Every structure is written in structure tokens, then in C-alpha cells.
Structure 1
Amino acid sequence: MIPKQQETSTSDLMLPNAEGYFGPYGGQAIPPHLKSIMDEIYHAYLAIRETPAYQQELQELYQHYVGRPSPIYFARRLSAACGGAKIYFKREDLNHTGAHKINHALGEALLAKHMGKTKVIAETGAGQHGVAMATACALVGLPCEIHMGAIDIAKEHPNVTKMKILGARLISVDRGTQTLKDAVDSAFDEYMQDPEQFFYAIGSVVGPHPFPMMVRDFQMIIGREAREQFPAMTGKLPDYVAACVGGGSNAMGIFSGFLDDHQVQLIGVEPLGRGVAKGEHAATLTYGQPGTMHGFHSYMLQDAEGEPEPVYSIASGLDYPSVGPHHSYLKDLGRAQYVAMDDQACLDAFMQLSRLEGIIPALESAHAVAWAMQKAAELDEQQTILVNLSGRGDKDADFVAEQLQL
């Protein structure tokens, strides 16, 4: 464990170092031949991201294609219903494709094009990363292959349809738990068939270096915008910034804007699922221990042999047994706190936000909404909570209606 530090500069917090470590987490736990491929991606990324052509193309796409900047919205009726603090949302759900995932999908697809890759491979859980990558690949003209667990395919049918319409080849993963972890395994197996020609577009701040850094860098636009927008709107910084955490890309995106503001409390909200029993949740930072999987070292839910445990969440995008190494580092430092909300709280928040504000959130995002609703009641009306509303719930509407027998 890293000793808790009360004050740490952004330059320290915004690692990784040259070997891809955030403190003791991250790195490249991969075979030597794959390390050379990862290092090639790393050096290509460092070179390409600084070119005016790449920067201009990406910024124009963010503005004119994605619709950035995404606004901040004061949830007046939800705040009144909860009592106490005022709740605000960073509206990533309004992005093209309906989630924050498009931010890094465009960056990765452009990088793959600039590197001359012949196919982009990706995994997806809830389908938002899959839709975003299929969209980005259609835009840049690269073939796209999406690996998705069979259970998630059945659960997230609207996103499955979108991926097919966009021209992606969808691979149903029937092994293991047939969810996100197995989709990652399947996508990685396909990537290893020809890593020199294929590009594996990882969907969160996980995986071997440089992916936790790259995805974080693309998602930092959320935090940069929010850090300017919130004081302009309210006259001060938020007291709390909250976001759901599975792999952790949307949370890392918004946290990055406030890391130096130590008066702002950063809250990552994990899925408690059906309870604390093994296999019934995916609250990695709450109940896990440091371990290694999928080429990186971080907190993970593991058995006595160090193998990943089965995990579960009502939100397909959160049921992953590890977490981004940057989050593990922030947890050990004490700069961010991580809590867990269960399925029922998630569903309640989903319905409350829908019926009080006319905003249907993704089930993933609803975990953070649930925490904010609970916390607001404990605070006074002068305090504020900013929630990253990372995605919209079109994909979840039929599933929730079935669950609640609407």
C-alpha cells in the first residue's frame, strides 16, 4: 500500500511513468513479443497525438460530430425530492452514440488509421463501447470486429442492432460467464492472431500500458470542460464529483479535471449487485486485492489461486473483475473514495431520474445517481454534487421495464 498523502501535485497524480505504472499498478504483464507491439503503439501515440493534423481532426470531430462540449445540468426536481445538497449532471449521455465512450473511440480509431492497421478489434459489455467503436470505424473507413458476451447480447439488443447497422462484425462469446470478462478474453485471442496488422481498441482505462494512459487522455476532455463549466455556472467548485466505476474510464475522465482541487471529494461508485457474497457483485476496489489479469496489475476480485472470480452487476458495462490502475493508485493515496450501490438502489435511481427530470440514464450511470441521491440527503442546501451522467438508458429501457413489470 502507498502511504496516504494529503497533498499531491497533479504532475504526480497524472502518471504513468515510462514503464506504465501508476505507483505499483499498471505496467505490461505480457509476453516479450507482445510487449514490442504495445511499445510500438505507445511511441506511435506519443508521436501522432502531437501532430497538428491529428489534433485538429480530433477536435473538429468532438465539436461537430460528437457535439462537445456536453452541458452541465442542475437537476432541480431530483434535488428537491432528495432534500439537502444540489445535484448536477455532466451530460455525457447527450454525446453522439449516447455515452462518453465516443471520446476515446474516435481517438483510437484515428490512431489505428494513422498507424496503417487493417482491422480494429474491440470488446463490449453494455454495448456502448461497441457502438462507439463501430461508429468511429465507419467514419474512418476501417473494418471493425466487436466481441460481446452472449448474455449481454440478449440483454442489450438495441445496441446489438446498432452495431450491425453500422457495419461491425459481431462475435457472440459463449464461453465462461458469457459477459464482459469473457468478451475481453475472446477479443484478445483474436488480436493475437495478427497483432502487427490488427488494432485492439480497449474500451476502458485497463489493459497493458499504454491503454490506461491513452483512454484516460482521451476522456480527460470531460474533466477539462466540467472544471470550467461548473464554476461559471455556480460560482464555485463542486463539493463532490461522482461517477460509476467498472473499468473506470468515465470516472477517470471527470476526476482528472479536479485532481489538484483537494477540497473537491472524488467518489467512484461500484456495483454491489445482489450483495457482498462472492460472484454476486463487481465492487473491485471495495472488496478486491491487488492482482494481475489482462496484462496489468491492479485491484481485482480473485480466488485463492489469484484467478479472476465470477462477477455480476445489473449493469453489463460494470461487471468486470478488475479496475483501471489509476483508480487503484488514487484509492491507496486517499485522493478518491470508492463506494458500492446495489441493483435495487440502481433501479430506484433509474426510475427517479426518469420521472422527475425526464432523463433516462444508463444503468451504469444510475449507480452514481443512486449514491448522489443518498448523499444529498445528508448534506445541506449550500453543498453541491456533480455526477458524470456517462450514458443514456435507451439500451436498458426494455430490460428495466421487464424487471419492474412496467
Structure 2
Amino acid sequence: MKDLAERGRFGDYGGRYVPESLVAACAEVEDAFREARSDPGFRERLGTLLALHVGRPTPLTPAPRLSAELGVTLLLKREDLTHTGSHKINNVLGQALLATRMGRTRLIAETGAGMHGVAVATGAALLGLRATVFMGERDVERQALNVFRMRMLGAEVVPVGVGSRTLKDATSEAMRHWVGATGEAYYCVGSVIGPTPYPWMVREFQRVIGDEARGQCAEALASAVPDYVVACVGGGSNAAGTFAGFVDTAARLVGVEAEGGAGASRGRLGVLHGFRSLFLQDEHGQISEAHSIAAGLDYPGVGPEHAYLRDLGRARYVTVSDEEVVAAAVRLARTEGIVPALESAHAIAWVIRAAGAGELPPGATVLITLSGRGDKDMSTLKELV
């Protein structure tokens, strides 16, 4: 997989479909990343930040009560325990360091649930950069706490009022803004989407999740590798990072999408935001609006590596409903004392459903990545629980 990624393609997916004005900027990012990842000093500095500022390694937490109820062994990779409360900070610190290496003074970003925006604002404050975060107006309303956190950290938050007013439109506006600011700004993409090298680069910065989890599973499990590795998927960065640690094993990889945002499950080949992948489209080939109770999964497509893994049959992609997600968040909270982000609750929901339907063999070991914590979703849950 790595060699394909380094060439900018995952089978028929990936590539760089951008305006001429961004071709050189993307190439400059790629050259800088290739140089940085081979530089021991860059890797050491990133590793130090991840340890001292983020709190890595994150724990692998057993879930004994829910495991007993479901008849399987659940292990939770706790990205919700990172500083800022989600996996997004792993990628952001890598890209923020890259931006300073390139001489950039400002980070541009898109955000849906706000966790990537919070991570960008945090990384910018830590490294002395400015930050501009684009966020759909609908997400600004439902993630007001994260908007305040970004502004508290010194970031400029720009509400986007066009289209569906969610993540897709925030991404479009961020890319448009980058066109006129490539000399001083760095576009810090939040998921495994966008033009080459972003899908590969973001996966490499997130693979710390899978690499850590694989070592922790080797210590925790007699079989060393879990039977199933499960993560939620929007664009798919936490899943890509998790899968990277297990793609060469016998573990079954399962990506769980929102029922209303199922790019990998129901998408068709198309191009959006500079890359070729699977997207929800209407009969005329126009990108359809996605819907999810989880703002971070409100995206109409999926990262190119996920589309490729689907085609290979190496990973399976499934969907769950908003109702299942809320029920799963409540159940994990009341059995294990952990309130997950609604994004992460998608993975829990599928495991609950699959165990109840007998799809998971009794006693199976299941690793679930908890990509974030649920503080940001309290106002949503308050109306539904």
C-alpha cells in the first residue's frame, strides 16, 4: 500500500485534480513532506510533541461489561484521551511542523465537528502560527463549544453559508482561499482526502494509532492480532491510521459510515476537492448532500485509500443509522463510563448490531478506535436521550 501511496495513486483513486494555480503549491508540499519524513530531526521533534503535548501513547482499554453483554472481547484504542480530545491532533502537529519547515506563517483548515479546527488552533498557538478555519454554518451552530475553543486559542473561524453549509462546503471554501495565499499560508487538510500528497501524508501522520495499537494488542491478546479492527469513516483518517497497523495481518478491517454519508458503501467514481474517489452523486453526476448526526462524518465521499481497500476486498464498509449511533453512545457511557464522540459511536453501533445478529463469532476479539470524546456532542445528545 505504501508504494502506491507514494506515487499519489491507490489503484484508480487519488491523484491531483486542482486548478493550475495550486499545482505548484501541492508539489511543494509533497517535496517538503518527502524530505521531512526522511529527516531524523523532524521525526524526533514530532515524536517529542506527541509524547509531551498530546499524551502518546494512548491506552488500549478493555471494555469488560460491554464485552460480557455482547459475548466478545472489546478493546478500545483511546484517541479520546489525547490533548484536544481526538485523533486530529496527531496529523495537525505533523503538518504544522511541516508548515514551519516550509517557512509558512499561517495555517488554513476546514472542519466539520470542530475537532480538526480545535487541533489546528492548538498547533498554531503552540508553534507561533496564525490559523484560519472554515466551518459550515450548520456545524457552527451545532458545535458552538468547539467554535469558542478555536477562538479562545486565537484562531479566526470563518462560517460558510453556501450549499449544505457543512463540511463539504467548508472544504471547498478553504481550498479557494488557499489559491490566493499559497505564499504565506499552508493548507492543513484534516482527513485522508484532497490532492496528492494529502491522503498519503495524513495517513502517515495518523498511522501512530495503528502502530501503537498493534504493539498493545500483541501484549494484551494471546493471538497477538485482534479478529476485527473497527473504526468510523467519514473522509477516513482515524480508520486509515488504524488500518495501517493491521493491513498486513489476518485481522478483518471494518469501516463504519453514516447511513446518510456512505461514500465507500454507496458512492460512485467522481472527482471532488482535488482527488478521485467514491462520492454520493445524483443521476446527473452531481455531488449529493451527505447527512449524519455526527458533523465529522457529514462528507459525501471517502478517502482514496479506503475506496481502494474496498475494491480489493481487504476492508469492508458498512453503515449505521443515527438512532443506532445515539443508542451506542448511551450504552458505552452506561457500561464503561466513557462518553464517545458521535463519530466514534458509529463503530460501537456496528459492533453491537453485528454481535446481536451473530455476525461476530462468540469470543471474537474486536479492536475499536475511539476517535474522540463526546463533550462536543452534549447539546445534541441532550435533546435525544
Query: 2:50–2:90: 8 Å Cα contact kept in structure 1?
Result: yes
1:322-401 paired onto structure 2 within 5 Å: 322-377=301-356, 378=358, 379-401=360-382
Within the candidate set 1, 21, 27, 1:33 is matched to 21
Q: Which amino acid aligns with 1:224?
A: D
1:7-406 paired onto structure 2 within 5 Å: 13-17=1-5, 19-82=7-70, 84-236=71-223, 237-261=225-249, 263-272=250-259, 281-377=260-356, 378=358, 379-404=360-385
Q: TM-score scaled to structure 1, two decimals?
A: 0.92
Distance 1:224 1:334 in 2: 22
Query: 2:8–2:14: 8 Å Cα contact kept in structure 1?
Result: yes
3-state SS of 1:16 partner: helix
Distance 1:95 1:248 in 2: 18
Segments of 4+ moved more than 4 angstroms: none
3-state SS of 2:97 partner: helix
Query: 1:74–1:88: 8 Å Cα contact kept in structure 2?
Result: yes
Distance 1:151 1:332 in 2: 33
Distance 1:325 1:15 in 2: 14
Query: 2:5–2:200: 8 Å Cα contact kept in structure 1?
Result: no
Query: 1:122–1:200: 8 Å Cα contact kept in structure 2?
Result: yes
Structure 2: stretches of 5+ with no match in the other structure: none
Q: How much does 1:380 deviate?
A: 4.2
Distance 2:353 2:73 in 1: 12
3-state SS of 2:17 partner: coil
The equivalent residue for 1:10 is none
Q: Which amino acid aligns with 2:301?
A: S
Q: How much does 1:19 deviate?
A: 4.3
Q: Which amino acid aligns with 2:238?
A: N
Structure 1: stretches of 5+ with no match in the other structure: 1-12, 273-280
Query: 1:90–1:386: 8 Å Cα contact kept in structure 2?
Result: yes
Q: Compared with structure 1, are the counterparts of its residues 19 and 29 closer, same or farther at alpha carbon in structure 2 (3 Å cutoff)?
A: farther
RMSD: 1.1
Per-residue CA deviations over 1:363-396 (Å, capped at 9, x if unaligned) read 0000001011222332344311110000000000
Q: Which amino acid aligns with 2:327?
A: D
Per-residue CA deviations over 1:104-152 (Å, capped at 9, x if unaligned) read 0000111001100121100000000000010011001100000111111
Query: 1:27–1:296: 8 Å Cα contact kept in structure 2?
Result: yes
The equivalent residue for 1:5 is none
Q: How much does 1:86 deviate?
A: 1.3
Distance 1:352 1:113 in 2: 43
Q: Which amino acid aligns with 2:21?
A: H
Query: 1:148–1:180: 8 Å Cα contact kept in structure 2?
Result: yes
3-state SS of 1:361 partner: coil
3-state SS of 2:291 partner: coil
Q: How much does 1:315 deviate?
A: 0.3
Query: 1:15–1:21: 8 Å Cα contact kept in structure 2?
Result: no
Distance 1:102 1:246 in 2: 17
Query: 2:65–2:336: 8 Å Cα contact kept in structure 1?
Result: yes
Query: 1:87–1:376: 8 Å Cα contact kept in structure 2?
Result: no
Query: 2:26–2:197: 8 Å Cα contact kept in structure 1?
Result: yes
Q: Which amino acid aligns with 1:388?
A: T
Q: Which amino acid aligns with 1:305?
A: H
Distance 2:110 2:280 in 1: 20
Query: 1:79–1:376: 8 Å Cα contact kept in structure 2?
Result: no
Q: Which amino acid aligns with 2:53?
A: Y
Q: How much does 1:55 deviate?
A: 1.1
Query: 2:90–2:206: 8 Å Cα contact kept in structure 1?
Result: yes
